[in-house]
């Protein structure tokens, strides 16, 4: 029993090490910069594998892009400048979190819009039912009298 717990703890420990240092062996001395580097490389898509971020991908282009991000951060570029550079080269597709633009505005706005429509319909239906119940003599009220 105790052994299996130990084994499990070990496995979890190795998993977390893997996710932090799996592919990317480099690190930046400044912890704040390192944090931004990790965040940025996790939100940029590996264009060759498409469902992995450049932080998770072992392919050559991903490591080139990581180096690019690192160099830009070390040169004092802001996160947005790094994103803008990548988008100007590879298009909006490289961002896992697409930005709000005129082209995709309806995608961002549709869910709250549908929620509002749904709420409106629900309120109307409830009101209609309530009005119906109040005027219908056939429906017994809570006391059971008609």
Binding site for another protein (CB under 8 A): 47-48, 50, 60-61, 64-65, 67-68, 87-93
Q: Are 16 and 33 in contact (CB under 8 A)?
A: no
State the sign of the Cα–Cα–Cα–Cα dihedral 33, 38, 42, 47. positive
26/48 with CB nearer another protein: 48
14/48 with CB nearer another protein: 48
50/146 with CB nearer another protein: 50
What is the smallest separation between the CB atom of 61 and another protein, expressed in angstroms?
6
What is the smallest separation between the CB atom of 89 and another protein, expressed in angstroms?
4
Q: For the purposes of burial, counting CB atoms within 10 Å of the CB of 120, is it exposed (0-12), middle (13-18) or buried (19 or more)? A: exposed
What is the smallest separation between the CB atom of 65 and another protein, expressed in angstroms?
7
31/112 with CB nearer another protein: 112
């Amino acid at each position: 029993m105790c052994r299996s717990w130990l084994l499990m703890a070990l496995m979890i420990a190795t998993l977390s090490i893997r996710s932090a240092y799996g592919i990317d062996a480099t690190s930046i001395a400044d912890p704040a910069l390192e944090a931004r580097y990790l965040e940025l490389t996790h939100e940029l898509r590996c264009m060759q594998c498409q469902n992995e971020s450049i932080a998770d991908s072992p392919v050559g282009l991903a490591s080139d892009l990581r180096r690019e991000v690192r160099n830009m951060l070390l040169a004092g570029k802001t996160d947005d400048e790094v994103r803008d550079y990548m988008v100007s080269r590879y298009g909006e597709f490289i961002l896992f979190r697409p930005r709000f633009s005129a082209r995709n505005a309806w995608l961002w706005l549709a869910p709250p819009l549908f929620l509002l429509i749904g709420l409106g319909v629900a309120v109307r239906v409830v009101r209609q039912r309530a009005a119906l119940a109040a005027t219908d003599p056939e429906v017994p009220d809570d006391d059971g009298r008609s």
